[in-house]
Amino acid sequence: MIYITQEEINQHIETLQTQIQKFILKKDIQFRSIIGVANGGLNISRPISQNLKIPHAELRVSWYDGQLKRQEPLVDLIDCIVLEHYCGNLLLIDDLTDTGDTLITIKNHPKLQDKTFYTAVLYHNSSAKIIPDFYVVEKPQGWLVFPWNNT
């Protein structure tokens, strides 16, 4: 297991935010909303949303029903229902891409399929099925334990 400290997270959030800011300036692009993926992604998306003054929404993807793996993941849009009516660019933020299935599931959700998504994570697994638009660190081998996993 690899334990990630809050200090490391804070540094990575700063780096990720800088990447996003540079992209916004270079491409002259605006994000309509930042969407944090519960649970881990919210710890990253909220401060970036506040600092960049971009509205925040959240959603949850459940791969398990208790201890049983679901046939199809459950996507709970929480406060993202309004996103159905959004046009423009959306920034989807999670803590990591491991397989990439979570980001792919969200981007392919029937109510969100027609949206323009950009994706951002702190840690990216090079063997994931998707490469996020923004990431800070190549995920090392092993199980990552984030500060929010210790509570």
Reply yes or no on whether the pLDDT at 151 is more than 60.
Answer: no
| The one-letter amino acid at 148 | W
Nearest to 98 by CA among 122, 81, 74: 122
Q: Domains in the chain and their CATH numbers?
A: 2-144 (3.40.50.2020)
What pLDDT is recorded for position 14?
97
What pLDDT is recorded for position 49?
96
Reply yes or no on whether the pLDDT at 123 is more than 70.
Answer: yes
pLDDT tens digits along 33-78: 898 988 889 999 999 999 999 988 888 776 656 666 666 656 666 6
DSSP strands (E only) in 49-131: 56-65, 68-76, 89-97, 116-124
